[in-house]
Amino acid sequence: MIKIPLFKKHFYISYFILKLIIVVGFQLFVTSVFSQDFNNSGIIPKPLQETKKQGSFIITSATKLYISETQNVSTVFLNQYLKDLGGYTLSKSKNVGNNGINFLIDSTLKIKAEGYLLSISSDKINIRAKDKQGLFYGLQSLIQLIKKNGKSITVQFYEIEDEPRFAYRGMHLDVARHMFSVATIKKWLNLLAFYKINTFHWHLTDDQGWRIEIKKYPLLQSKSAYRNETLIGHKRASPHVFDGKRYGGYYTQDEVKEIVKYAADLNITTIPEIEMPGHARAVLSAYPNLGCTG
């Protein structure tokens, strides 16, 4: 018997039970290690099918990007990532070839819209899709596979087939309670695109603030867009505590257009949310005549 201290008391365990715990624990560990999927690329979201092969494609400054003018696929993410890793970017080529990343539209592919086939071999990388959205998402998967090994930038050989499980893949951003800068929203949209999110739900108004410029109603900008102070802590706490700092702001119409276009270039549809008649205290503070008792 073994005496084991526990919470300032002791309990006794037999050697048989101890051996049993160790053996079972070891078996569970070995099972978990060997049951790991060899083909798992780690791409998020997980592709529909993926087959890992031996070897890696090496990306160098001489590697070319083949993209036709009609495809209009943004390669900004790829080149920025390569610049951070290796200090260089890839130039575009008019011809499909070896030592290249080839973007190919193929209307005969038996995959859903936004789906893609990604093939990585020793001499080239092919991304094939039925539409430019599929090419873009294939590129995001490729970026997730890129690794730096010493001075080399490599991509593991893979054959990947992928398509979306859900047509609507959205994220919600509340700027009424806390306003984010245009630059921050763009960074956030970059992250959405990286994980193949295709819808941006933009919560622009609520009781806590009005965030979009409406030129016909200037008080929405000068008054409804700001609050005198912000609640600190939980709203159910008593007494309420406020920070005493005026807070707010709004997006001009040009800024809204800029963000919507930026999102569209990343294959993200923007859904602006303007709440009326409920959740409209910010509006009523400037235009009480719009309320039931105004």
Q: Are 218 and 287 in contact (CB under 8 A)?
A: no
Neighbours of 225 (CB within 10 A): 23
Tell me the residue ranges of DSSP E strands in 28-151.
49-59, 64-66, 92-93, 100-105, 116-120, 124-129, 146-149
In total, the chain counts a number of residues equal to 294
* pLDDT on residue 13: 55
The pLDDT tens digits of the residues spanning 127-160 come to 999 999 999 999 999 999 999 988 899 999 999 9
Residue 292 one-letter amino acid: C
Q: What percent of the chain has pLDDT over 70?
A: 87
* pLDDT on residue 236: 86
* pLDDT on residue 233: 85
- For 201-215, what is the mean pLDDT? 97
Question: How far apart (Å, rounded) are the C-alpha atoms in residues 225 and 134?
Answer: 39
Question: 187 phi and psi, to 5 degrees?
Answer: -60, -40
Residue 294 confidence class, pLDDT cut points 50, 70, 90: low
Q: Write down the pTM of the prediction.
A: 0.82
Cα–Cα distance list, 31 to 27, 34, 38, 216, 271 (Å): 6, 5, 14, 67, 46
Mean pLDDT for the chain?
Answer: 89
Helix (H, G, I), strand (E, B) or coil at 12: strand
Termini Cα distance of the chain: 81
- For 214-240, what is the mean pLDDT? 93
Residue 15 one-letter amino acid: Y
- For 228-241, what is the mean pLDDT? 88
> Domains in the chain and their CATH numbers?
49-162 (3.30.379.10), 170-290 (3.30.750)
The pLDDT tens digits of the residues spanning 3-32 come to 445 445 555 556 666 676 777 777 766 555
For the chain, give percent helix, strand, coil, nearest 5: 30, 30, 40
